[in-house]
Amino acid sequence: MPTVRQKFNLLFFTVLLAVYLADLLSKLWILNRLKVLGQSEAVIENFLYFTLTRNEGGVFGLMQGYAWFFQVLTGFAILFLLYYYYKSAENSRLFSLAIAAILGGALGNFTDRFYGSTPGVVDFIDIRIGSFRWFIFNVADTFISVGAFLLAIAFYRFEKAAKANAAQEKA
């Protein structure tokens, strides 16, 4: 099993810190740029807008008004991910990158839930294509999604390698 030093290495902390800071700085930037909830500004007309919102719920705005629940849930998720990452036999760069991206985003949203006078997370990235409008999200959400996708690839590779090893041992 890898040591703490091997698991929590420079790559892991660099990605985690970069994601965390990118999220927090982007939220501070948008709060200084747009002053009123619901205020919107076109970045790329008919596609990308910055629209200031506060999400007091979870993913896709579910369970609005339960910010306290998501504060607790996010805290547990962060602790679980740290524990799982450390205990996992997987030690690839892709796995480390995925977990660091997810943790950086989770920490960004966790911090945001305790910041300011309004509970919830600052969301502002607003994608619109014709009459279609995606849920408004933030930088942390983006990295959590990318990290989850990379994690799925890492698990697939890990499983594939485990099956190959098992087949080789059988032969």
Q: Where are the chain's structural domains?
A: 4-170
Return d(Cα 123, Cα 92) in angstroms, integer. Answer: 32
pTM, to two decimals: 0.88
Query: pLDDT tens digits for 47-88?
Result: 999 999 998 877 777 777 777 788 889 999 999 999 999 888
pLDDT digits (tens, 9 = 90+) for 108-154: 999 988 876 667 899 999 999 988 988 999 999 999 999 999 999 99
Which H or E run includes 74? helix 67-87
The amino acid present at 95, given as its one-letter code, is F
Which structure tokens are listed for 104? 């950086």
Which positions are catalytic?
Answer: 123, 141
Q: How far is it, in rounded angstroms, from Cα 64 to Cα 119?
A: 11
